[in-house]
Chains A and B, each alone.
Chain A
Amino acid sequence: MSVALSAQDISRALTRISHEILEKNHGSSDITVLGIPTRGAHLAARIAAIMSSIEGKDIAHGTLDITLYRDDLRLRAPRAIMPTSIPPTGIQGRDVILIDDVLYSGRTIRAALDALGEVGRPRTVQLAVLVDRGHRQLPIRADFVGKNLPTSEKQSVRVSLTEIDSVDEVVIEGEAN
Chain B
Amino acid sequence: MRHLLSINNLSAADAIGILDTATELARINDGQVKKLPTLRGRTIVNLFAEDSTRTRISFEAAAKRLSADVINFSAKGSSASKGESLKDTAQTLQAMGADAVVIRHSASGAAQRLADLEWMSGSVINAGDGTHEHPSQALLDAFTIRKHLGKGASDLKGLRIAIVGDVLHSRVARSNVLLLSMLGADVVLVAPPTLLPVGVESWPATISYDFDSVIPTVDAIMMLRVQQERMTDLFFPNSREYSRYFGLNSERMSAMAKHAIVMHPGPMNRGLEIAADVADSARSVIVEQVTNGVNVRMAILYVLLAGGPLEVGSN
Contacts and interface: CB of A to CB of B under 8 A. Distances in A.
Interface of A: 65, 68-69, 73-84, 86, 114, 118-120
B28 to A, nearest CB: 6
> For the complex, would chain A's binding face be called helix, strand, loop or mixed by DSSP majority?
loop
B36 interface: yes
Interface string B1-39: 000000000000000010011001101100111011110
A69 B38 CA distance: 6
Given A76-B307, A81-B24, A118-B35, 12 more contacts: A68-B28, A68-B37, A68-B302, A69-B36, A73-B308, A75-B308, A76-B308, A76-B310, A78-B306, A80-B17, A118-B33, A118-B36
B226 to A, nearest CB: 38
B229 interface: no
24 contacts: A68-B28, A68-B36, A68-B306, A69-B36, A69-B38, A73-B306, A73-B308, A75-B311, A76-B314, A77-B307, A78-B306, A79-B307, A81-B20, A81-B24, A81-B25, A83-B27, A84-B24, A84-B27, A84-B28, A114-B37, A119-B31, A119-B32, A119-B33, A120-B32
Given A81-B21, A118-B35, A74 B28 contact: no
Nearest to A70: B38
B303 interface: yes
A73 B67 CA distance: 14
Contacts of A78: 302-304, 306-307
Interface of B is mostly: loop
Nearest to A115: B33
B81 to A, nearest CB: 38
A80 B21 contact: yes
A84 B26 CA distance: 11
Interface residues of B, number: 24
Contacts of A86: 31
A88 to B, nearest CB: 12
Contacts of A75: 308, 311, 314
Contacts of A80: 17, 20-21
Nearest to B305: A78
A30 B294 CA distance: 36
B285 to A, nearest CB: 24
Nearest to A71: B37
Interface in B32-82: 32-33, 35-38, 66
A147 B17 CA distance: 36
A33 B36 CA distance: 22
A65 B31 contact: no
Nearest to A86: B31
Nearest to A120: B32
A63 to B, nearest CB: 11
Interface centre among A69, A76, A114, A120 (most CB of B within 10 A): A76
A82 B23 CA distance: 10
Contacts of B306: 68, 73-74, 78
A73 B28 CA distance: 19
B37 A69 contact: yes
Contacts of A76: 307-308, 310, 314
A113 B102 CA distance: 32
Contacts of B17: 80
Contacts of B311: 75
A118 to B, nearest CB: 4
A79 B302 CA distance: 9
Nearest to A153: B315
Contacts of B28: 68, 84
Contacts of A65: 24
A120 B31 CA distance: 11
A144 to B, nearest CB: 27
A37 to B, nearest CB: 11
A86 B314 CA distance: 34
Nearest to A154: B315
Contacts of B27: 83-84
Contacts of B21: 80-81
Question: What 3 A-B pairs come out closest when comparing CB atoms?
Answer: A78-B307, A74-B308, A81-B24
